[in-house]
Copies of this chain bind each other. A is one copy, B any other.
Amino acid sequence: MAVLRTLIGEELRATRLSQERTLREVSSAARVSLGYLSEVERGQKEASSELLASICRALGVRLSDVLREVSESLSVLEAQPVPVAELHAPSRAVADVVAAA
């Protein structure tokens, strides 16, 4: 489901938009390419620890605050019913472990 990088991207994007700043401004301040920042915001690319710190610095926010927001959003999603597709994956994993034992 890879929801983590999606949530991080959404949080960074919401922060940038709340400051009425463009991708160009923030990517320049963070010293990352515009395309990279755009992909991170859309959850299409994992931001490394260094670049995440750099983007947060450019936005003037604390990474710990971003993570707390993401953690809260994630906990809501985790509390929701598991989709059928997700239910199957662990079952297969268990079956494989049993088979390998």
On chain A, which size bracket covers the interface?
20 to 34
Q: Which of B3, B48, B67 contacts A74 (CB 8 A)?
A: B67
Residues of B within 8 A of A50 (CB): 2
Does A93 interact with chain B (Cβ within 8 Å)?
A: yes
Closest residue of chain B to A66, judged by CB? B71
> Contact: A4 with B75, CB < 8 Å?
no
Does A24 interact with chain B (Cβ within 8 Å)?
A: no
> Contact: B78 with A71, CB < 8 Å?
no
Residues of A33-75 at the interface with B, using a CB-CB cut-off of 8 Å, are 46, 48-50, 52-53, 57, 62-65, 67-68, 70-72, 74-75
> Contact: A48 with B46, CB < 8 Å?
yes
